[in-house]
Structure 1
């Protein structure tokens, strides 16, 4: 497996060539060899995709379905991208899928993400599953997973991300995300500020779309939350999801609404929905660790909307006496709105530690220094990297302090193994 992954990395994981021609041609060849597709659920959006996939996976597995989940990017290991029955794909299964794909005519033209996507399709087909849950990597309309006509579709919140590729504004980005919609397909769009472009596309293609606050709504409560649906105007109470963060209730509402859509071909009981909500796990999303009497908080917040959600979640664990020092460890990729992200969170933290990531797409130390200047508070740029910055913050902090690591999947993935090795534990 390691040799295959080295080979795959050499294909340039940062190359992006949106379009379905290459990947569809290779998949058509594979279908002729007997690779079958069961019920497909496709999840697109800017924020909340990974959590929504995890919620769907837990609910459907609780009902007894055999489920495969495809997500990206991974935090630590490539095998995280493909889960079969709740477990990361085993090395033998990944090697088998890569071997089949490598022998397929046209596979040499695939991008890194297209290769990973078709490898997931092969592995899932080999595992004989009931449901495939597929997370869109970028956009929707021209993303590799969209070669399959999803039986159900979920579109999460739309934000400004990848604008050079998807378009300059929310309507343009929304149009790309809406590319996963199909005629007659049950679909749900959950967004705190729904973009009109999504229902416009749904109407044009004939998708049966439910929109947040138009067709369904939620009311938070002390012991759970209430979801109101067209056939249940008085609402139904559901338990808070195991995933931490107030925004996860909104993600859960979209997932439950999709499961309760009258055209959903999958039968799912209330008991399975409850069990799934209460047992969902998704690493790197507002994870709270305890180490040396400090709270270490990991979050893959990597754009303005997710940073706002992070701050909102941090406020829920704010010390009532306001005596806790809050320290930020931050880094991001060059194409992210670094200055805006830092400005949003600037006043919340007492001290900032910046450090450059590795790789061609990483923001430079100079840009991080410029971003630090926008904070207007105490801070330092550690040019040695994320782990040295974390060690520096840990040494400078005191018992009771909170250390928050965010800004990129790569930022979190650098620290999470350090916490495990050090014996930190999840709260």
Structure 2
């Protein structure tokens, strides 16, 4: 009988010292018999909103009667959330078997490439027709660029994030993401401003048809608002709806708009208090979050040190007078200096931090938990341990 997956080994396969880009992923897929040739995929790229857009696309395709796979990252509570077939998470036994194979046949491969390979093997074996494929970081330089059969590319938006990898300006980051475009393959986006200008340039160079709310307003029109909360979700919903219609799955739009997604302004009621959990982890995302949540009695915040902490935190300071800071992982921004600088409390352990933040929240009040998907996953696990 197969034992539990060796997640520690898998998580230790960091990108450091390994090739970044589609080359290594393509070589790994070829070694496995090119399982990605068995299905078509919708690539979802962008700075924020990818997960929500993927959730809506998945729901829409399911409603349209398609056997659908979905590949997303990171996971919140369980690794197998990253790979779903017809809405069901991967069986951990299949993870365990793949890790055992990888230890002997691909010990030098990176974590994301391995996970992508496992997903493709699963989708091919399970007869998936269409895969909703979320990019990890970037577009042209992301491992998902290695995939062969792409039916559409959907770009949510572009803002400053992963600057050490993608570039230090919005146009530079956009150029990498836009180069996910393929000749003759529809490229849809709700990006605006300078980002859209770069997208127009790149798609013209590549020969990809560009579809936007301005060029094709009927494609992006929404019959009603999405179930996911926040004005930013309307743009994600419009992108998902347009993608479904472009590919001939317009009858799935209503189901797409009814989709939910964990840790996207997800609401819990705890002891007469409202807990809102959101995975916003960069300035663009927290600005959108603060517009959707104009007031919270208490803020629980923790982020990774590689992010722009000050710019990410600033939009949240105005909406919450009481702040608790924590460390969502080994590479987190230390909470103590944040507490000193922004007049708050510090607990390195997210569980202890959540307990104090909840205690500080008055009956009937609201606690907002944000700053990192890792923090969102930890707190969600306390409230929804299944």
Do 2:328 and 2:372's aligned partners in 1 also have CA atoms closer than 8 Å?
A: no
- Deviation, 1:190, is 1.2
Larger deviation, residues 287-296 vs 23-32:
23-32
Partners of 2:43 and 2:189 in 1: CA distance: 12
Of the three residues 24, 33, 38, the one matched with 1:31 is 33
Partners of 1:238 and 1:205 in 2: CA distance: 33
| 1:120 maps onto 2:119 in alignment | yes
Do 1:15 and 1:112's aligned partners in 2 also have CA atoms closer than 8 Å?
A: no
The structure-2 alpha-carbon separation of the partners of 1:35 and 1:141, relative to structure 1 and needing over 3 Å to count, comes to closer
Structure 1 segment 117-266 matched on structure 2, within 5 A = 117-149=116-148, 150-193=150-193, 195=195, 196-212=197-213, 214-217=214-217, 228-229=218-219, 237-261=222-246, 264=247
- Deviation, 1:21, is 2.3
Do 1:15 and 1:111's aligned partners in 2 also have CA atoms closer than 8 Å?
A: no
Partners of 1:199 and 1:346 in 2: CA distance: 36
- Deviation, 1:85, is 0.6
Do 1:97 and 1:123's aligned partners in 2 also have CA atoms closer than 8 Å?
A: no
Partners of 1:312 and 1:52 in 2: CA distance: 19
> Normalising by structure 1, what TM-score?
0.84
The residue aligned with 2:254 is 274
| 1:393 maps onto 2:373 in alignment | no
Partners of 2:337 and 2:308 in 1: CA distance: 11
The residue aligned with 1:304 is 283
- Deviation, 1:35, is 6.2
Do 2:5 and 2:99's aligned partners in 1 also have CA atoms closer than 8 Å?
A: no
| 1:338 maps onto 2:309 in alignment | yes
| 1:111 maps onto 2:90 in alignment | no
Do 1:327 and 1:402's aligned partners in 2 also have CA atoms closer than 8 Å?
A: yes
In structure 2, the residue corresponding to 1:180 is in which secondary structure? coil
- Deviation, 1:99, is 4.6
The residue aligned with 2:347 is 382
The residue aligned with 1:222 is none
The structure-2 alpha-carbon separation of the partners of 1:36 and 1:21, relative to structure 1 and needing over 3 Å to count, comes to closer
Structure 1 segment 291-330 matched on structure 2, within 5 A = 291-315=270-294, 326-330=297-301
The structure-2 alpha-carbon separation of the partners of 1:26 and 1:41, relative to structure 1 and needing over 3 Å to count, comes to same
Do 1:97 and 1:122's aligned partners in 2 also have CA atoms closer than 8 Å?
A: no
Provide structure 1 residue ranges, at least 5 long, that are not aligned to the other structure: 218-227, 230-234, 319-324
- Deviation, 1:393, is 1.7
Do 2:139 and 2:145's aligned partners in 1 also have CA atoms closer than 8 Å?
A: yes
Do 2:327 and 2:335's aligned partners in 1 also have CA atoms closer than 8 Å?
A: yes
The structure-2 alpha-carbon separation of the partners of 1:185 and 1:342, relative to structure 1 and needing over 3 Å to count, comes to same
The structure-2 alpha-carbon separation of the partners of 1:236 and 1:398, relative to structure 1 and needing over 3 Å to count, comes to closer
Higher-RCO chain (CA-CA 8 Å, sequence separation at least 6): 2
The residue aligned with 2:10 is 8
Do 1:97 and 1:120's aligned partners in 2 also have CA atoms closer than 8 Å?
A: no
Provide structure 2 residue ranges, at least 5 long, that are not aligned to the other structure: none
Do 1:331 and 1:356's aligned partners in 2 also have CA atoms closer than 8 Å?
A: yes
The structure-2 alpha-carbon separation of the partners of 1:415 and 1:29, relative to structure 1 and needing over 3 Å to count, comes to same
> Normalising by structure 2, what TM-score?
0.93
The residue aligned with 2:334 is 364
- Deviation, 1:153, is 0.5
Partners of 1:135 and 1:298 in 2: CA distance: 21
The structure-2 alpha-carbon separation of the partners of 1:419 and 1:281, relative to structure 1 and needing over 3 Å to count, comes to same
Partners of 1:46 and 1:159 in 2: CA distance: 6
Greater Cα radius of gyration, structure 1 or 2 = 1
Of the three residues 241, 255, 262, the one matched with 1:283 is 262
- Deviation, 1:15, is 6.6
In structure 1, the residue corresponding to 2:132 is in which secondary structure? strand
State the number of aligned residues.
382
In structure 1, the residue corresponding to 2:133 is in which secondary structure? strand
In structure 1, the residue corresponding to 2:298 is in which secondary structure? strand
